[in-house]
Amino acid sequence: MSNTADVAAPSQQVHAQQKEASNTDLLSEFLNLFDQNKANTYDIDFFKTVFKLCRPETTSKFSYYAELEEHIAYIESFAASELISNQLNFVAPLLELTATMGNSHSSHNSHIPHSNAENPKLAQQLLSNIRQGEMLFSRVLTIPEQAENSTQAPFGVSASENKNGWLLNGALNVVLFNKAVSHHLVLATLPNNNTLVTYLPTQTTGITTAEHAQLGAPKANNTQFEIANLRLQNVLINNGVIGEINTQAILDLVARSRIMSAIRHNQYTRMCLDKLILFLKSRTSNGDPLINQQVIQHRLAKLEARLSSSCALSRYSLKQIAVGKDTQALASASKLLASELLVYASKQALHLGGITHFQKNKPIANSYTEANWANFFLEPKELLLRNILDTSVSERHQKA
């Protein structure tokens, strides 16, 4: 037995080194796209390079993903970075989880349609399609929300059995579109309080757009994003069901995604401040650079201090989740602080930078616009605050 273990250990070490080398090569390829200014076009080669990095064996390497998140922040469109990060940190791990779990949560109901051995294979195929840039899901973060004594489905969508499959009804809150997006990832509440994971083509019959807004830097047609709330009315699913998953697994993925999002928000704030500082150095008043004015230095110092605090919180949250701690409130606080700071910093940059930065399609003007729209539509302050409060109250009750 010991001889086998001795042989296996070096083999595992070599395999780990090979995977690390492969990831390093992919990251280099990813950075080369930025050097060649290809990332700003969001072409399919760029998407493919990003999604090849999204592998099950690397999902637990938080430091590696944090590095990737910071590089994703260099994409000019905040909406584009949200979509890419969402595939990396929410969609792909969710598919991986359902593929790994198989039918373990379906055993109590032998009559559930399409709960068979093909579901894990389907999830693995979708993962492969994502990594090759052949499939993009519109889904952004979603958490189960259900008030006491409420009959509403926690995920906004309920699934009921039908002789031909499933019938889905409800609201699909906040999805992100662009030309590369082909499918919706739908989380539907089952009668047993688990969650049905399924996917639908964007043109599926029975799905209507409730409201939408455009978001994105209009450099090319592919950079235009739509943020929409969708309604599902008797949508029949007779294929495309991936599997079943418990609610806590969803919460864990949301916490992780929020922390990664906070890291990316902070990077956008850093970029915004750097552009502002360069501008203030290049402008003079009475022969002296604007950046030397005491009032401006004071405002910049306050922004730098707030950014340092936000970065420290997001990094601490990342370390906590990496060691298996419950980070629901911490993750929400990290994203709240980072997103509020991004809006505030870009607004200050507009004021300090003057009329030049107010012009349409200027980087800081785009940053301010996208920060406001993204935070309003995707995960508003009220949602994050409520999540922090609910988690804190729950923790106090457990201690009592």
Average pLDDT over residues 21-36: 69
Query: What CATH architecture is 137-246?
Result: Beta Barrel (2.40)
pLDDT tens profile 83-138: 888 888 888 888 888 887 654 434 334 334 444 456 788 888 888 888 887 888 98
Separation between Cα atoms, residue 49 and residue 29, nearest integer Å? 7
Q: What's domain 248-399's superfamily in CATH? A: Butyryl-CoA Dehydrogenase, subunit A, domain 3 (1.20.140.10)
Angle between helices 294-322 and 247-282 (to 10 degrees): 160
Going by the DSSP 8-state scheme, the letter that residue 83 receives in this structure is H
- What is the Cβ-side half-sphere exposure of residue 331, based on CA atoms within 13 angstroms? 25
* Domain spans of the chain, in order of start: 137-246, 248-399
The pLDDT of residue 349 is 84
The confidence score (pLDDT) of residue 152 equals: 60
Q: How far apart are CA 24 and CA 138, in angstroms?
A: 28
Q: How confident is the model at residue 154 (pLDDT cuts 50, 70, 90)?
A: confident
Query: Quick check: 269 and 342 in contact, CB under 8 A?
Result: yes
| Local structure of residue 139 (DSSP, 8 states) | B
More confident residue, 391 or 159: 159
CA–CA gap between residue 219 and residue 203 (Å, rounded): 26
Whether residue 21 is predicted with pLDDT greater than 70 in this model: the reply is no
Q: Is the pLDDT of residue 164 over 60?
A: yes
Higher pLDDT, 318 or 309: 309
Q: Which residues contact 313 (CB under 8 A, 6 or more apart)?
A: 262, 330, 333, 334, 337
Q: What is the pLDDT of residues 43-64, one digit of tens each?
A: 667 777 777 776 655 555 667 7
Indicate whether 279 pLDDT > 80. Answer: yes
CB atoms within 10 A of CB 135: 20
For residue 11, is pLDDT > 80? no
Query: Quick one: pLDDT at residue 109?
Result: 41
pLDDT value at residue 314: 94
pLDDT of residue 228: 86
The pair of three-digit structure tokens given for residue 326, joined into one six-digit string = 């419950």
In three-state secondary structure terms, 241 is strand
351: left (phi over 0), alpha (psi -120 to 50) or beta: alpha
Q: Which token pair is 368?
A: 């301010």
Give the integer Cα–Cα distance in Å for 356 and 241: 51
3-state secondary structure of 92: helix
pLDDT in tens, 196-237: 899 999 889 999 987 777 776 555 445 677 888 899 999 998
Answer yes or no: are the C-beta atoms of 226 and 176 closer than 8 Å: yes
Per-residue confidence band for 22, with pLDDT thresholds at 50, 70 and 90: low
Q: What is the pLDDT of residue 108?
A: 38
Least confident of 4-13, 16-25, 326-335, 343-352: 4-13
Highest mean pLDDT among 65-69, 144-148, 243-247: 243-247
Q: What is the pLDDT of residues 56-92, one digit of tens each?
A: 555 556 677 777 788 788 777 788 888 888 888 888 8
> Which pLDDT value is given to residue 46?
72
Q: What is the pLDDT of residue 107?
A: 36
Query: Percent of the chain having pLDDT more than 70?
Result: 74
pLDDT, tens only, 330-360: 999 999 999 999 989 988 888 877 666 666 6
Which of 19-23, 175-179, 389-393 is predicted with the least confidence, judged by mean pLDDT? 19-23
Residues in a beta bridge with 157: 170
Rounded Cα distance, 185 and 175, in Å: 9
What is the rounded distance in angstroms from the CA atom of residue 172 to the CA atom of residue 184?
Answer: 9
Residue 42 predicted with pLDDT over 70: no
Query: In this predicted structure, which of 65-74, 247-256, 265-274 has the lowest mean pLDDT?
Result: 65-74
